Structure 1
Amino acid sequence: MLQAVSEWLWWERLWLPAKVSWADLDDREGRVYAKASQLYAVLPYAVCLLLVRFLFERSVASPLADVWGVKDRIRHHVEQNAILENYFCKRAHVPSQADVRSLCKKTSWPEHKVEVWFRRRRNQERPGLRKRFCEASWRCVFYFFAFVGGVLALHDKPWLYNIKEVWAGFPKQSLLPSQYWYYFLEMGFYLSLLLSLTFDVKRKDFKEQVIHHIATLTLLAFSWISNYIRVGTIVMALHDSADILLEGAKVLNYARWRQTANAMFVVFTLLFTLTRLVLFPLWVIHCTCVYPLERFAPFFGYYFFNAMLMVLLVLHLYWAVLIYKMLYKCVFTKLQGDDRSDEEEDDSDSPKETSYTCRHVNGVGVRGRASGH
């Protein structure tokens, strides 16, 4: 039974165009091809990147936070109350007004005291500012070096300047060392993000992030096996360019360099629009949908690869709505906050109006790859 499943899984028509077999992709005459068996190395890469991240956050990001005065907010103590704790853990973190009144009767507390308790309890669940600063610093540094690596891997390749060259000789395209390292560092990074989801800062678009990371890894793995590597490297470099600015804007915002962070966020929005909403669909997806048909008949891999690219495009559109909302608030109003961030609430005992400062970049995590990213 396992043999039958294996034969179906590696059926050549799922992965390769007609009249092309796995035997055609055996290494010979100095030509080296990507192998599915090499994907097992992604897990060690992910573990190594987690270790590098841990060392970076402790030895670089944390001291930098000290230099820039990034400190966690002092949080008020939450008074012990079994009734409220049970409601918080088992029902909801934000009680309705009717539930607040019901809890007041059960605890003999006034409404204001119950509301303050829930605000303080929610703040306890939120990650501190230094944690967010360290995470953003790590991602910013990784995306910077990944983008530089992508530029070095692509700058002298003809398919960067004439995208039709992506399909020249496909799928019999020899694997280059630069492509190997670029792919496995990116795949290791996204697997490390999946492995660290449980202890990373949790955003409101948590589910979308999970979908995105899984789609990215699936697309990367599939493109590796089917030798869609040339277009994969283009998409990775295309996405890395904007992500540097996003994470950099977060870092500066946490360090209270608000005007610089806002300016960087505006530039990020422009670059995001250009790369994710213009070049990605009109240049990359057009290339993967139209040009292959000039060389071979459609097969399962053709449809699957383009379907995964469309999933990323849908996620781009979703995040674009959030980004444009935040940009509007930053430019045209004094309201600051991120539609998907989880900022600490005012939990003082005395009621006061909530004030906002422009923190629109705190919670945006936007990737999209064929690379998700």
Structure 2
Amino acid sequence: MDFVLDQSLDAFRAEVREFLSSALPKDMAERGHRCYHEDKSDVLAWMKILCKKGWSASNWPVEFGGTGWGAAKQLVFEEECLAAGAPQRPVVGLSLTGPVIYTFGSAEQIQRHLPLIKNGETWWGQCFSEPNAGSDLASMTSTATKEGDSYRLNGHKIWTTFGQYADWLIVLAVTDKTVKPQRGISFFLVDAHSPGITMKPIYSMERGHTLNEFYFEDVVIPADGLVGEEGKGWSYAKFLLENERSWSAEIPRNKALLQRLLQIARLQIDGAEPAISRPVFREKIADITARLHALEMLTLRAMNEHESCKGERLSNWESGSMLHIKGSEMQQEIGALMMELLGSSGALYYPSYTQRPGEEYPPGPAEAHGVAADFLYRRATTIYGGSNEIQRNIIARALLGNV
């Protein structure tokens, strides 16, 4: 790598910390530290606070209301927010929908949607995967048939994260069945409250409700819901997923999880000495820390390449797939260590706890709250966004070709 970290980042980090110490509500931060799923009211309230500061769309260009920060600044900002317990901002709107709209969308779409996303006034859901088309999106069967000035959408989508909160959806659908699948898919912006849309919740193994499936039956999409050109949806989705996977190592989250692991390691649990005093455990921490630093450098390399090439591929090293694999596996590894250290306390299930009036305080040490729920939920990190098995196939094809 030939990029040099800007020394001004230390001053920027201090600025972000000072802002968070004064602007982030204490009860919101406490909920964030417990690793439970974000509460919609917290997320949108935090977005409004960030918007007033001018930091809500940290990954967007200045001309569209963003900060114009480079990769390193964005990483510092996300790291400090997670460390402080701030809610995660709406990923689908800010990191997926927004960049697609300002890169490929019409002037009307830019003017209509970007301010609402930036201001924390709309929530977006992603409807790409289907029951038989997950990592292989080209196998999708949902269709959008052109009828006069509109399209008629029919199909079934699944795994829409926080879809229960969505005001709008980004939807991939087949508009031309006579061509190669990748050339017959289009990208749509769909009002989530349109007639003909049915949403059903999917409860994951930790009993949390973050996932949903959507059924579309003769849903009318106005012509202005089409993004860019008809048949270019596959290209737009690849652009979107490359943006997503540039962050898929989740360095800020892994750093926050590592700090929480260290907090638990200093506790005396079940009468045993603190784990931090054990040489074998300290060796594990040293190993994870070294690998996390290496992964951070890999992430910065990928993000800098992405910025410098303006979305065009510079090399065949498949950064997104590599980051996805290593980052997702590290989340699971740190979670497993926390569960191991908690012993009998880790065996208890702690339901989501917001500290709001009327809620019963969970039993056991405060450090255990949310650990089991997060550990169970993160079993899916090696599956969502394209399973790690698929990512390894992508890496192999890029490096080995047809060998």
TM-score by length of 2: 0.26
| Rg larger for | 1
Higher relative contact order (CA 8 A, sep 6+): 1
Which is helix-richer, 1 or 2?
Answer: 1
Which is strand-richer, 1 or 2?
Answer: 2
